[in-house]
């Protein structure tokens, strides 16, 4: 088990993404083109673009994490907490992907649950937001399973692969976790 893990569950763990992940993530991303389109912007798979991606997480406003099999360390997903706002907001915006060969088995539910725990404890955040296209059933299922609340609808919210797409805004706040029953059934 890697000592880079920030926190682990039964099957998966999370750790910061790093420059050495380039080959593994690039291969996984190429294999997952169909799964990822049209839900997330197509990723430039060049080494330079990956280095830029990693550099983003040197800023306090962004956290880049990978979800790994706890025992082998193989990467099964990625979660970014983007646009972290401190002060009176303490909020961040989530971006996440599973990879095709391991999707649909509950690993992302477990991994995103760990990210939520990490964000609300270690990072001290109060609110995590996820913006999801209304027809992205897998992503909607994921946030519902973790107890997120639908807050609203944002027309033409994000340009993904050339098209401005509407998104639903979902969020989880720390008080919702302490308030009572929620589905932590990753
Ligand atoms: C959204 C996305 C990350 C969800 O990933 P996922 O692989 O479906 O998530 P999980 O690993 O938690 O798998 C959940 C599914 O596994 C099933 N499953 C199987 N075994 C399971 C287990 N032991 N525990 C929990 N769930 C299990 C669940 O029933 C669930 O299926 P359902 O959604 O039909 O109910 C993935 O579909 C993806 O990468 N999509 C493209 C990118 C994207 O949309 N990103 C988000 C943009 S907002």
For ligand 1, atom 37, which residue shows the shortest CA distance? Answer: 138
Distance between CA atoms of residues 77 and 68, nearest Å: 7
Look at residue 185 and tell me whether its pLDDT is greater than 50.
Answer: no
- Strand pairing category for 127-132 and 91-98: parallel
| Contacts with 86 (C-beta within 8 Å, 6 or more apart), sequence order | 60
Helices (H), 83-184: 107-120, 137-145, 174-179
User: Could you give the percent of the chain with pLDDT greater than 90?
Assistant: 92
User: Could you give the percent of the chain with pLDDT greater than 70?
Assistant: 95
Tell me if 167 is assigned to some domain.
yes
Residue pLDDT, tens place only, 47-100:
999 999 999 999 999 999 999 999 999 999 999 999 999 999 999 999 999 999
- Whichever domain contains 73, its CATH number is 3.40.630.30
CA 104 / ligand 1 centre spacing (Å): 4
Mean pLDDT of 137-157: 98
Tell me if 186 is assigned to some domain.
no
The DSSP secondary structure of 41-86, one letter per residue, reads PPPP-SHHHHHHHHHHTTSTT-EEEEEEETTT--EEEEEEEEEEE-
Tell me if 1 is assigned to some domain.
no
Tell me if 77 is assigned to some domain.
yes
Tell me if 168 is assigned to some domain.
yes
Mutating to test ligand 1, I would choose from 35, 69, 98 the residue with most ligand atoms within 8 A of its C-beta, which is 98
Give pLDDT, residue 25.
98
* Segments forming the whole domain that contains residue 161: 7-179
Tell me if 97 is assigned to some domain.
yes
- Structural domains counted in the chain: 1
Look at residue 169 and tell me whether its pLDDT is greater than 70.
Answer: yes
Look at residue 183 and tell me whether its pLDDT is greater than 60.
Answer: no
CA 43 / ligand 1 centre spacing (Å): 20
> Cβ(7)–Cβ(123) under 8 Å?
no
Report which DSSP code applies to 33: H
Tell me if 140 is assigned to some domain.
yes
CA 76 / ligand 1 centre spacing (Å): 11
> Cβ(57)–Cβ(112) under 8 Å?
no
CA 140 / ligand 1 centre spacing (Å): 9
Residue pLDDT, tens place only, 109-122:
999 999 999 999 99
| Contacts with 45 (C-beta within 8 Å, 6 or more apart), sequence order | 26, 29, 30
> Cβ(50)–Cβ(64) under 8 Å?
no
Q: How confident is the model at residue 186 (pLDDT cuts 50, 70, 90)?
A: very low
């Amino acid at each position: 088990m890697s000592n880079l893990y920030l926190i682990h569950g039964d099957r998966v763990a999370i750790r910061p993404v790093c420059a050495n992940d380039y080959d593994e993530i690039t291969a996984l991303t190429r294999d997952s083109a169909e799964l990822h389109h049209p839900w997330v912007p197509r990723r430039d798979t060049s080494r330079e673009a990956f280095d830029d991606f990693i550099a983003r997480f040197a800023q306090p406003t962004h956290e880049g994490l990978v979800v790994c099999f706890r025992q082998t360390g193989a990467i099964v997903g990625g979660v970014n907490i983007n646009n972290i706002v401190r002060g009176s907001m303490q909020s961040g915006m989530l971006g996440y992907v599973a990879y095709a060969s391991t999707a649909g088995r509950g690993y992302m539910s477990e991994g995103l649950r760990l990210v939520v725990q990490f964000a609300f404890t270690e990072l001290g955040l109060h609110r995590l937001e996820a913006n999801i296209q209304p027809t992205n059933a897998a992503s909607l299922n994921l946030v519902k399973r973790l107890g997120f609340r639908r807050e609203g609808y944002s027309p033409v919210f994000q340009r993904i692969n050339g098209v401005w797409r509407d998104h639903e805004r979902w969020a989880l706040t720390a008080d919702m976790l302490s308030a009572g029953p929620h589905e932590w059934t990753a």
